[in-house]
Amino acid sequence: MNIVVVGGRGLVGRNIVERLRNEGHHVSAVSRATGVDVITGQGLAECMVGAEVVIDVTNAPTFDDEAAFDFFRTAIGNLLEAELAAGVRHHVTLSIVGTQRLEDSHYLRGKALQDRLIRASGIPFTIVHATQFYEFLVAIIENAVRDQVARLSPAYIQPVASDDVAALMAVLAVGEPLNGSIEIAGPERERMSELIQRFVIDLEAPCDVQTDGRAPYFGAVLDEDSLVPGDGSLQGSVGFQKWLERSEFSRVGW
């Protein structure tokens, strides 16, 4: 199968590319580094020639301002236009659990728009809504910390290993389009402030964690269940401690 992975050099993209190539598929990993720019549209038409499946794992360069929304709006518009012109038969995209519930966040509002445009495009599609990656916990801390104090919501969080998400997306990409979405989360549910408190202690990070029910999460105030999946979601196999023990984040520099 001829597959294009847009964002194919990122954390999840590299994983997906390796899995699909090992299965014998012809996989192109495209990104700005290979001359493909989803914002300007440069290189998109060329990389789509002959593509049967396109997997979009691109991400905005910022999380907490209007630029994040603008990224997703522009990128998905350019991608879908190129896919329609090339006759792509399956669009697979990575989204986030809770996007439809958190419109106060520019980033998540952009992801919600992305979902809607994919559904309206006419291209057969599969959307994977994943909870936050364990690898993303550092970004949550960095976004929340002020004067060495991270104020974080006590809302529930159920983070997942990016490897589990990549494995799921690789399987879905070579199957029939769902023309719908599927959710995946990690095996453990915990309050965000408590999980990150343990993470900070494990990493010996130079900050304290305080629980604050009104603390914004990338611009949005959370309800208890804003970030967790509904019934029937898939569950990854890797728990937090197992992930941490084998992770490069155990040596992160602060």
Mean predicted confidence (pLDDT) in 234-254: 79
Length of the chain: 254
Q: What is the mean pLDDT of the chain?
A: 93
Share of the chain above pLDDT 90, in %: 80
Among 34-38, 218-222, 250-254, name the one with the lowest average pLDDT: 250-254
E strand spans, 16-96: 26-30, 53-56, 90-96
Q: Which of 16-30, 113-127, 150-164, 235-249 has the lowest mean pLDDT?
A: 235-249
Q: For 66-86, write each residue's pLDDT tens digit.
A: 899 999 999 999 999 999 999
Q: Six-digit token pair at 144?
A: 């929340």
Domains for the chain: give ranges and CATH numbers.
2-251 (3.40.50.720)
Task: Determine the Cα–Cα distance for residues 168 and 130; give it in Å rounded to an integer.
Answer: 10
- Distance of alpha carbon 74 from alpha carbon 50, whole angstroms: 23
What residue has token string 């998540």?
A: 108
- Rounded CA separation 162/118 (Å): 23
User: Quick check: 219 pLDDT over 90?
Assistant: no
Mean pLDDT in residue range 125-146: 93
Query: Quick one: three-class SS letters along 142-205?
Result: HHHEECCEEEECCCEECCECHHHHHHHHHHHHCCCCCCEEEEEECCCCEEHHHHHHHHHHHHCC
Phi/psi class of residue 242: alpha, beta or left (left: φ > 0; alpha: ψ in -120 to 50)? alpha
3-state class (DSSP) for residue 26: strand
Arithmetic mean of pLDDT, 4-21: 96
Tell me the average pLDDT across 155-176. 97
As given in the structure block, the two tokens for residue 243 are: 């992930």
Does residue 122 carry a pLDDT above 80? Answer: yes
Question: In this model, does residue 251 exceed pLDDT 80?
Answer: no
For residue 254, the model assigns a pLDDT of 46
Q: How is residue 223 annotated by DSSP? A: P
| Whole-angstrom distance, CA of residue 205 vs CA of residue 211 | 17
Mean pLDDT of 158-165: 96
82: nearest Cα among 72, 91, 73: 91
pLDDT exceeds cutoff 90 at 64: no
Is 200's pLDDT higher than 70?
yes
Q: Please give the pLDDT value at position 62.
A: 83
Nearest CA-CA partner of 169 in 156, 154, 184? 184
Q: What average pLDDT does range 182-201 have in this prediction?
A: 94
How far is CA 93 from each of CA 54, 156, 169, 216, rounded to the nearest angstrom? Answer: 8, 25, 8, 26
- Residue 165, token pair as written in the block: 């998400």
